[in-house]
Amino acid sequence: MTIRNRVLLCLMLLGLPAALWLAFLAEAPNRLVSGQGQPLAHYLAGPRYLLLLPLIAWLAAVFARPSPRWQLCIIACSGAWLGGLTWLAGDAARSIAQTASPLARTSLGGAFWLLCLLGWLAAGDATARLPSSWVRRGQRQLWALLPLLPVLCLLASGQLDELSLLKEYHNRREVFTDALVAHLTLVLGALLPTLALGLPLGWSLYHRPLRQGPVLAVLNLVQTLPAIALFGLLIGPLAALAAAWPALGELGIQGVGAAPALIALTLYALLPITRSVLSGLVQVPATAREAATAMGLNGWQLFRQLELPLALPVLLAGLRLTVIQLIGLAMLAALVGAGGLGTLMFQGLASSALDLILLGVLPAAALTLLVDAGFKHWAANLKGALP
Amino acid sequence: MIELSEVSKTFGQQPAVERLSLTVARGEFLVLLGASGSGKSTTLRLCNRLLEPDSGSIHFAGTDLRSFEPHVLRRRMGYAIQSVGLFPHWTVAQNIATVPQLLRWSKARIAARVEELLSLLHLDPATFKDRYPHALSGGQQQRVGVARALAAEPEVLLMDEPFGALDPVTRQALQEEIARIHRVAGTTILMVTHDVDEALRLADRLVLMQQGRVLQQGSPAALLAPPLDTKVAQMLGGRELGLRRLALQTVASRARPELASPGPSIAADANLREALDLMLQQACDHLNVHDAAGQPIGRLYLADLAEAGA
């Protein structure tokens, strides 16, 4: 027997100690006390051992001659594994809830997260190995998201409601919704001015190469400022503005709140957008540009018919990174009172409630994954994209 | 058609074109020949306002160039360059349709024109229409480039060393193509090249340029005819002056009306250089000459070639 899939074997070996020694679930008398951890084996009995079936399939896949069918099998097993572990956690939490006090909390332990992550990485690796004849360009990311579907179904079915994380959610449903909406508003609110400034800026820098150095230097400088420092730096001037013209304050331009957050986020996002416009335009062949000019395309037609379509793939890649960066940075906006998912995270940090932290962090991570897959899908399906 | 008078253009300290006057007549195939840096490309780019002259004036169809909108002017002039510059994200058909589409031709008219041009340049429309430029050979790309330049039936075709990057066989095929298109469509062509044989083969009128000025101009035969200026001899002749003179004359012009004898035969419209080559290959001192229908019309002697090359 030769080992044909080292990645999968490695993932499985990494999971072994986690499964044996890390806590799968932690049972605590209330939400603030760290609980008593129990390993995975504690919750396995009788037919529940069937949940380990994916492991056997994976083990077989390690030694099997690689083929697209085996990769599909690995992905399917990953779905079963993620769904199985999640179901097990939810089910255990329910049975604990029937006996324990209403204040008792069952939270997900390190083994759960690690095993889920390893299982999902196996799917990610398998998707990357699928031949391109099986996967349409740009759809790999979507394939890698498939194993998360069973988890989402369980989440929607209420099977997981007794888990501490979900209890935090139900206790703060309105706060959570507000935070999510505020977060998305911050990201979009920063993205629109970024595009409005960054696209023309990148375009004009391309046509005036002498200005590239200084302008990019300034944008780089902004990028090196720590985010929290930039938020803080903006509080002073904006508060002074609001004091000098109270009308501005009524419009929401104050030292704290959305204004400094949006300004800071826009400043951060300006560099990647401008850079990607610039590098997108640079790779438009000079000869095609000359021919276009000589054939009588005017400035707008040159942009619309030649520059934009050829620069778009690079531009979209830059846009993808920018949005992901914005989702992350917007977490910090909570510090200047702009709301967002960061509010939950910082509240959790302040009261050392791990599940509350997760309630803020997990949706942001999920947003990032969605944005990443969405943009890659879009970029790959561009009309007239070069093969 | 195009008239340059006393045109100068300087880049930095370096004059590229100096007090140049030149007229391109309607329907003419004019070739600018010169070494690198002689100002021939600059001259071409002045004609469609890719460059603006420092002094002097240029007229197109009797109107001062400055009174045209640059992009309107350029749509009336085809433009083909050595690097072709096809749009990599467009198919062959879309590339050829660039200018007609700017001029808002109807879809049907554009489609018909694309087919017509592909056939004209010996590219099978069904095979090539929907290909992308990266799937074409260099020669095919240049054919598409020429088709694109011709697409909107331009009044003038400007070409800047269009065949410079091609292998000799492809280059000659495309030279024959462009000569045929010039004969058939009667388009005015202004072409820049540093390839002496190409210039001699294609030009109705040849303009020799040196250091931004016109050294001499005239038909290829007239320029090669003795007595030759040393500079002209240097530019045009090199070590092949006699052979190049032969290449400009047809077999028919030197054939004697004699009866055919056994031995090799050559077509009347071949040139004398080809005839000489055939004689050398066959180790003979005369050839039979036949017309297009294959009927013998006379004989060609080696001694006559010696006279023609002098």
* A304 part of contact set with chain B, CB < 8 Å: no
pLDDT at A381: 75
Computed over every residue of chain B, the mean pLDDT equals 89
pLDDT at A387: 43
SS3 call for B57: strand
- How far apart CA A124 and CA A122 sit, in angstroms, is 5
| Residues pairing with B22 in the sheet | B4
Q: B78 burial class (0-12, 13-18, 19+ CB within 10 angstroms)?
A: buried
Alpha carbon of A142: minimum distance to chain B alpha carbons (Å) = 26
Q: Tell me the per-residue pLDDT of B192-248, one tens digit each, with 9 for 90 and over.
A: 998 888 998 899 999 999 888 898 888 888 888 877 777 888 888 777 888 888 888
Instruction: State whether A294 and B70 contact (CB < 8 Å).
Output: no
pLDDT at A79: 92
DSSP designation for A32: S
Instruction: State whether B81 and A295 contact (CB < 8 Å).
Output: no
pLDDT > 90: percent of chain B: 43
pLDDT at A138: 65
pLDDT at A255: 66
Instruction: State whether A294 and B74 contact (CB < 8 Å).
Output: yes
How does residue B262 score in pLDDT terms, banded at 50, 70 and 90? confident
Nearby residues of A205 by Cβ (< 8 Å), 6 or more positions away: A211, A212, A215, A216, A274, A277, A278
Instruction: State whether B99 and A296 contact (CB < 8 Å).
Output: yes
Instruction: State whether A291 and B134 contact (CB < 8 Å).
Output: no
Chain B residues inside the 8 Å CB shell of A306 = 87
Chain A residues inside the 8 Å CB shell of B149 = 295
* B102 part of contact set with chain A, CB < 8 Å: yes
Tokens of A305: 């018919």
pLDDT at A246: 74
* Interface probe with A: pick from B47, B68, B75, B87, most Cβ of A within 10 Å: B87
* Interface probe with A: pick from B79, B83, B89, most Cβ of A within 10 Å: B89
pLDDT at B100: 94
The pTM of the full predicted model, rounded to 2 decimals, is 0.75
Q: Give the other-Cβ count within 10 Å of A299's Cβ.
A: 11
Tokens of A220: 């780089």
pLDDT at A226: 83
Within 309-338 of A, beta carbons closer than 8 Å to B belong to 309-310
Nearby residues of A382 by Cβ (< 8 Å), 6 or more positions away: A309, A312, A313, A316
- How far apart CA A48 and CA A66 sit, in angstroms, is 30
Mean pLDDT for back-to-back runs of 10 residues, chain A (387 residues): 86 88 84 79 86 89 87 90 91 84 83 91 88 76 84 87 85 88 92 92 88 87 83 78 73 72 88 92 90 90 90 90 92 84 88 85 90 85 57
pLDDT at A383: 58
- How far apart CA B252 and CA B287 sit, in angstroms, is 12
Chain B residues inside the 8 Å CB shell of A289 = 85
pLDDT at A236: 76
Taking only Cα atoms into account, the Rg of chain A, rounded to an integer number of angstroms, comes to 25
**Of A381, A257, A270, A380, the residue nearest A325 (C-alpha):** A270
| Residues pairing with B296 in the sheet | B290
Interface A-B, measured as beta-carbon pairs within 8 A, has a size of 67
